[in-house]
Protein backbone atom coordinates (compact mmCIF):
# COMPACT_ATOMS: atom_id res chain seq x y z
CA UNK A 1 0.00 0.00 0.00
CA UNK A 2 2.71 2.51 0.99
CA UNK A 3 5.52 2.94 -1.51
CA UNK A 4 7.86 5.44 0.17
CA UNK A 5 8.63 9.12 -0.20
CA UNK A 6 7.62 10.71 -3.48
CA UNK A 7 9.23 14.05 -2.68
CA UNK A 8 10.37 16.33 0.11
CA UNK A 9 9.30 19.99 0.17
CA UNK A 10 11.55 22.94 0.94
CA UNK A 11 10.06 26.42 1.45
CA UNK A 12 12.15 29.20 -0.10
CA UNK A 13 11.83 32.97 -0.44
CA UNK A 14 12.78 32.50 -4.14
CA UNK A 15 11.75 28.99 -5.28
CA UNK A 16 12.86 29.49 -8.89
CA UNK A 17 16.32 30.63 -7.83
CA UNK A 18 16.75 27.73 -5.38
CA UNK A 19 15.49 25.22 -7.97
CA UNK A 20 18.09 26.54 -10.40
CA UNK A 21 20.77 26.20 -7.70
CA UNK A 22 19.99 22.46 -7.48
CA UNK A 23 20.21 22.26 -11.28
CA UNK A 24 23.51 24.16 -11.47
CA UNK A 25 25.25 22.60 -8.47
CA UNK A 26 23.87 19.07 -8.05
CA UNK A 27 22.80 18.06 -11.58
CA UNK A 28 19.09 17.94 -10.76
CA UNK A 29 16.67 19.06 -13.45
CA UNK A 30 13.42 20.98 -13.17
CA UNK A 31 10.87 18.25 -13.68
CA UNK A 32 7.64 20.21 -13.23
CA UNK A 33 6.50 23.64 -12.12
CA UNK A 34 3.19 25.33 -11.34
CA UNK A 35 2.11 28.54 -9.57
CA UNK A 36 5.62 29.31 -8.30
CA UNK A 37 6.32 25.76 -7.10
CA UNK A 38 9.19 23.79 -8.65
CA UNK A 39 9.86 20.06 -8.62
CA UNK A 40 13.54 19.25 -9.14
CA UNK A 41 14.53 15.69 -9.89
CA UNK A 42 17.87 13.92 -9.35
CA UNK A 43 19.39 11.34 -11.68
CA UNK A 44 18.18 8.51 -9.39
CA UNK A 45 14.56 9.78 -9.51
CA UNK A 46 14.35 11.42 -6.09
CA UNK A 47 12.54 14.76 -6.07
CA UNK A 48 12.37 17.96 -4.09
CA UNK A 49 9.44 20.35 -4.30
CA UNK A 50 10.51 23.93 -3.72
CA UNK A 51 7.59 26.10 -2.62
CA UNK A 52 7.24 29.81 -1.73
CA UNK A 53 8.02 30.53 1.92
CA UNK A 54 6.30 32.98 4.25
CA UNK A 55 7.90 34.84 7.14
CA UNK A 56 11.46 34.85 8.44
CA UNK A 57 13.71 31.84 8.52
CA UNK A 58 14.75 30.37 11.87
CA UNK A 59 18.47 29.68 12.39
CA UNK A 60 19.57 26.28 11.04
CA UNK A 61 21.83 24.18 13.25
CA UNK A 62 23.04 20.64 12.65
CA UNK A 63 21.23 19.07 15.62
CA UNK A 64 18.00 21.10 15.84
CA UNK A 65 14.82 18.99 16.05
CA UNK A 66 13.18 18.01 12.79
CA UNK A 67 14.62 17.20 9.39
CA UNK A 68 18.30 18.14 9.57
CA UNK A 69 19.84 17.40 6.21
CA UNK A 70 19.42 15.93 2.77
CA UNK A 71 22.12 13.42 1.77
CA UNK A 72 23.41 13.67 -1.79
CA UNK A 73 24.85 10.36 -3.01
CA UNK A 74 27.87 10.50 -5.33
CA UNK A 75 30.07 7.91 -6.98
CA UNK A 76 33.24 10.05 -6.95
CA UNK A 77 33.47 11.99 -3.70
CA UNK A 78 36.66 13.91 -4.46
CA UNK A 79 35.45 15.08 -7.89
CA UNK A 80 32.04 16.12 -6.53
CA UNK A 81 33.61 17.94 -3.57
CA UNK A 82 36.06 19.75 -5.86
CA UNK A 83 33.23 20.78 -8.20
CA UNK A 84 31.18 22.22 -5.33
CA UNK A 85 34.25 24.10 -4.03
CA UNK A 86 34.82 25.49 -7.52
CA UNK A 87 31.19 26.70 -7.56
CA UNK A 88 31.67 28.52 -4.24
CA UNK A 89 29.48 26.28 -2.08
CA UNK A 90 29.55 27.04 1.67
CA UNK A 91 30.92 23.98 3.50
CA UNK A 92 29.96 23.49 7.14
CA UNK A 93 32.60 20.83 7.87
CA UNK A 94 35.76 19.46 6.38
CA UNK A 95 35.45 16.12 4.54
CA UNK A 96 35.74 13.12 6.86
CA UNK A 97 35.45 9.34 6.91
CA UNK A 98 32.84 7.51 8.96
CA UNK A 99 32.61 3.71 8.94
CA UNK A 100 34.13 3.48 5.47
CA UNK A 101 31.99 6.31 4.09
CA UNK A 102 33.31 9.67 2.87
CA UNK A 103 31.18 12.74 3.65
CA UNK A 104 31.05 16.49 4.09
CA UNK A 105 28.25 18.84 5.18
CA UNK A 106 27.38 21.98 3.23
CA UNK A 107 24.54 24.45 2.68
CA UNK A 108 22.41 25.24 -0.34
CA UNK A 109 21.63 28.76 -1.52
CA UNK A 110 19.01 29.26 1.23
CA UNK A 111 21.12 27.71 4.03
CA UNK A 112 19.42 24.28 4.07
CA UNK A 113 21.86 21.64 5.29
CA UNK A 114 22.95 18.93 2.87
CA UNK A 115 25.70 16.40 2.91
CA UNK A 116 27.67 14.78 0.19
CA UNK A 117 28.21 11.08 0.74
CA UNK A 118 30.01 8.23 -0.94
CA UNK A 119 29.30 4.91 0.74
CA UNK A 120 31.82 2.10 0.63
CA UNK A 121 28.87 -0.31 0.79
CA UNK A 122 25.24 0.64 0.06
CA UNK A 123 22.85 0.61 3.00
CA UNK A 124 20.99 -2.70 3.34
Distance of CA 118 to the CA centre of its chain: 14
Ordered domains of the chain (ranges, CATH): 1-53 (3.10.180.10), 67-124 (3.10.180.10)
pTM value > 0.75 = yes
What's 100's DSSP letter? T
pLDDT per residue rounded down to tens, the chain (124 residues): 998 999 999 999 999 999 999 999 999 999 999 999 999 999 999 999 999 999 988 887 888 888 889 999 999 999 999 999 999 999 999 999 999 999 999 999 999 999 999 999 888 8
Question: Hey, which bits of 35-95 come out as E strands?
Answer: 37-41, 47-52, 70-73, 90-91
Q: Are 48 and 9 in contact (CB under 8 A)?
A: yes
Q: Are 103 and 82 in contact (CB under 8 A)?
A: no
Amino acid sequence: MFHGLEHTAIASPDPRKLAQWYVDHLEFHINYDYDGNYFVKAANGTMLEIIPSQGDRAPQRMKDPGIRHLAIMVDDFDAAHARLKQLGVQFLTEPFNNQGNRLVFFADLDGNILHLIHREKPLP
